Amino acid sequence: MRGKRLLAMPVMAVLLLLGGWVGSAEAATLFVGPNESIQAAVDAANPYDTIFVFGAHSEDVLIQKDGLRLVGIGATLTPGAPSPCGDDGFCVFGDVTFGDDDNPPVVNAYVKDVHISGFHISGFADTGIIAFGAQNAQFRTNQVFDSGGYGIAAFISTGTRVQANVVNGGDEAGIYIGDSPNANATVQSNAVFDSGFGIFLRDSMHGSILNNVLQQNCVGALVLADAPGPAGFYTFLGNKIRGNSRACPANEEGGALSGIGVAIAGAQNNILHGNEITDNVPGGDTEVSGGLVVFSGDLGTPPNGNIATRNVITGNSPDILWDGTGNNTLSPNVCGSSVPPGLC
């Protein structure tokens, strides 16, 4: 079945039944059976083609063509022989010039409109799905387990949509949006468990964090500035952030962490409304804990313009912790304890 191409019109009904993956009038459809090469199908495809993948596959897959849609139907992806992505599963790469400590990476041309959905991805030493220099990438309804670094991650990208995935066991973070000053990201209806950070937003600006379940991580969600750039302008609505009591020991990047629901570190203009942030208590050593923790960044940038209202923040240790820096609105919420007192 590998490489078989069908014009879009005869398979229109199938595409609609399988989630409306409809591209341009010239788009074609390819099929990849069990143990056949997904990479070979990607290499054979034209931009905006759709690739349906069935069964088990041991490989990693590099995608550098606009508009490819990879749809897993009972499909699994696990590490195989060394190939273009190294320790990652799916790699969505634009034309990027990578820099160094003094020169940040530069996107020369984005890879656009790549969609990946329906895969069970497990056991990659770094990241299950990673994007560098991607525009409007969509990662939906995947299961990403036991990644050594990140479950799903987007760097120097814009318009990323991460929706309805289950991520378990990302040592660094389940879902990561970083190094993206124009992120405009949507992270919606995902479940993230047993990771370092459930959602990690670092040096990235603008986006929506909606209706996710973040549980049994060291930190439910972190918005981090000063590492090295600004972060913020994220809206958190309707998330359930609870029981994040896993203990992450100190390492070269920072101190021990446990028992944090949402942390805002030097970030600005984030809005938290209608979230449930409950029962986040330390399960081991930690430098700080709390349901909502607001503090300055590592370089001393104060958190400014953050608004947390109408949230349920209970059963944490404490419910709200603020170091007093910056100008922030942290009430009214349903909560029982705060440092300093009087925020509940």
Report the largest interatomic distance among the alpha carbons of the chain, rounded to a whole angstrom: 66
Residue whose structure tokens are 């419910």: 319
Contact 224, 196 (CB under 8 A): no
**pLDDT value of position 83:** 76
Judge whether 171 lies within some domain: no
**pLDDT value of position 7:** 30
**Residue type for 291, please?**
G
**pLDDT value of position 27:** 87
Judge whether 194 lies within some domain: no
Tokens found for residue 277: 């942030």
Judge whether 89 lies within some domain: no
**pLDDT value of position 18:** 44
Smallest CA-to-CA distance from 211 within 233, 193, 175, 187 is with 187
Judge whether 287 lies within some domain: yes
Judge whether 123 lies within some domain: no
Give phi and psi for 74, each to the nearest 5: 60, 35
Q: Cα–Cα distance between 344 and 342 in angstroms, integer?
A: 6
**pLDDT value of position 30:** 98
For residue range 250-279, list pLDDT tens digits in order.
Answer: 988 889 999 999 999 999 999 999 999 999
**Residue type for 257, please?**
L
For residue range 43-89, list pLDDT tens digits in order.
Answer: 999 999 999 999 999 999 999 999 999 999 999 999 997 778 889 99
Q: Show the low-confidence residues of the chain (pLDDT under 70).
A: 1-25
Judge whether 284 lies within some domain: yes
Judge whether 259 lies within some domain: yes
**pLDDT value of position 4:** 30
pLDDT above 90 as % of the chain:
85
**pLDDT value of position 254:** 86
**pLDDT value of position 8:** 31
Judge whether 37 lies within some domain: no
**pLDDT value of position 11:** 33
**pLDDT value of position 102:** 74
Owning domain of residue 249: 212-344
Q: Specify the number of domains making up the chain.
A: 1
